[in-house]
Amino acid sequence: MKPSWISYNWSCSCLPALLVSVAITGGPSLSLGETDQSATSSKASFSLGKLGTIEFPASGSAEAQPHFLRGVAALHSFWYEEAIEAFRRSTAIDPNFVMGYWGEAMAHNHPVWTEENIETAQAAIQNIPDKASVTGRENRYLQAVQTLFGEGDKLARDRAYAAQMESLAGEYPEDLEATCFYALSVLGLATHYNKEPDLQEKYRMQAGALTLGVYGVNPNHPCAAHYTIHAFDDPIHAILALQQARRYAQIAPEAHHAQHMPAHIFLQLGMWAEAAASSKAGWESSRSWVKDKDLPLALQDYHSLYWLQYAYLQQGRYNAAAALILDKQQDIGQSSSSDQSQTRGYSRQVSRHYDQMIAAFIVETERWGQAQQAWQVQDIRFGDESPAKAANIRELAEGMAMLGKRSTGQQDPPVQFPENTTNSHHSIISQIENLQLAALKSAINQDHSQVIALLDKATAIEETRSPPSGPPNPIKPTHELYGDILLLMDRPQEAQQQFERALLRHPNRARSLLGMARAASNNGELQTARHAYATLLHVWAQADPDLPELREAKLFLQNTASQ
């Protein structure tokens, strides 16, 4: 019987199609029940080749229509720069192409990224000619976008916009775009409820049901794959989007975000080779795009670069992960001061994710001494982007190094940690990090009862949050830290329980697999230990050959082969 904490390596090329009925009853041809203003707009289907296939009737000239459709398809892949360019081409060709202005405004709402540019979006809306003719359906889209960028706070506007898109999708059930943008509005609502995971999950599942329905009608629709991945981006539901994750990069290979997005599902399932390949494709595609169009360096997809590094770290490819930091430093060194500020109205600094990359490298490799280095390039240092995060990592590294020495009988001066200042004014993550540091201090002082109390509290807080969409936050998961400390306290049974919890939230995470193997071995559970070590070796199939943990796993399996 396999231990419950092991996540399976899904190697099948596809899963049975999961179809959900969401009032999408027709095939991909739309019949929207009204006659549009131009002869070309009653049915406008256009294969976008490298961005997917969509159908979106709109009033306007035939010449403008392909550019509009390209803009919508780019919008579904969050390729906002290309979407804006395409929408502007459509309205340059036909100044009365009303939906082109709608699309340009929509490109300034990034709901999953919690970004918006209201002023620029409103300017696009105001460019709509007063005498332009629109259909009743198009008018509904225009009313909805005016609500999205109208009066009120962000949550109120998002709620009102979602309600209007729900109504629009209900009135035109064959309009896959209405369903897609309704699903995206629901995903936008979910971002408001980080402190209410049940409500957030409800919205995500609703969005996923909608987009799975779209996928059943048009499996080449970029929205159908992309938004399904976002909806099921957690270790419990990720398997529901594995089919879409395997297809999305093929649907929209031109969009670098489409190359990267499958990594969200692969990461949640602990499929590190696939996660690395996906993020590498996203990173390299973005670099080619920026180079080919001579765009600001800051528009490169550093999100994919960070995820690629994290995947390499989980694979034990520490040298490759270190090389990515050098790539990042090279870009920082080549960038001008203007690249370290706003780019096209949004925060797109070349240095973004630099602190996370360094912190992840230190924590995953356990090279604690490197936390005290400056990691400076030009005037950018470790901690400039996230001072609190860098300070936490330095204190965590110092404490872990000290704890390791104490466990082997070495004595050093006590480490001074800040007093635990957890209160309601701190973010949840900072509360957890403060508790982690306080627990480390107690462990060094051998105050075991305090260690247990502090880490029980920290894990309880962490479990009030949904598992992260990506690398852990805090960077050292609390259940994993708890297990590490319990092992040093010679409490392997309790440590094993913590590693089990860690692996449920972060499947096939290398340090948790290693901890599980050690705890099970010390706890006398030989088969569980063998299974954990074997899984680690599978994950570390491409690991640097000189890692001591690699030798440890191989030696254990060799010595216990006959038992």
Domains in the chain, ordered, with CATH? Answer: 347-416 (no CATH), 426-563 (1.25.40.10)
- Give the per-residue pLDDT at 19: 28
Task: Report the relative pairing of strands 342-343 and 346-347 from DSSP bridges.
Answer: antiparallel
Measured distance CA(446)–CA(441) in Å, rounded: 9
pLDDT in tens, 238-274: 999 999 999 999 999 999 999 999 999 999 999 999 9
Q: Compute CA 504 distance to the chain's CA centroid, rounded to the nearest angstrom.
A: 18
Q: Is 261 helix (H, G, I), strand (E, B) or coil?
A: coil
317-321's contacts with Cβ under 8 Å and 24+ in sequence apart are: 317/542, 317/543, 317/544, 318/361, 318/364, 318/365, 318/544, 318/547, 319/544, 321/361, 321/364, 321/365
Q: CB-side exposure of 499: number of CA atoms within 13 Å?
A: 29
- Give the per-residue pLDDT at 97: 97
- Give the per-residue pLDDT at 158: 97
Cis before 197 (ω within 30): no
Question: What backbone phi and psi angles, to 5 degrees, belong to 115?
Answer: -125, 150
Is 355:339 a contact under the CB 8 Å cutoff? no
Q: Which residues of the chain have pLDDT under 50?
A: 1-47, 420-425
Question: What backbone phi and psi angles, to 5 degrees, belong to 357?
Answer: -65, -45
- Give the per-residue pLDDT at 348: 81
- pTM value surpassing 0.85: yes
pLDDT in tens, 499-538: 999 999 999 999 999 999 999 999 999 999 999 999 999 9
Is 51:70 a contact under the CB 8 Å cutoff? yes
Please give the angle made by the CA atoms of 537, 542 and 545, to the nearest 5 degrees: 80
Is 95:60 a contact under the CB 8 Å cutoff? no
Q: Helices 65-76 & 80-93, crossing angle to 10 degrees?
A: 160
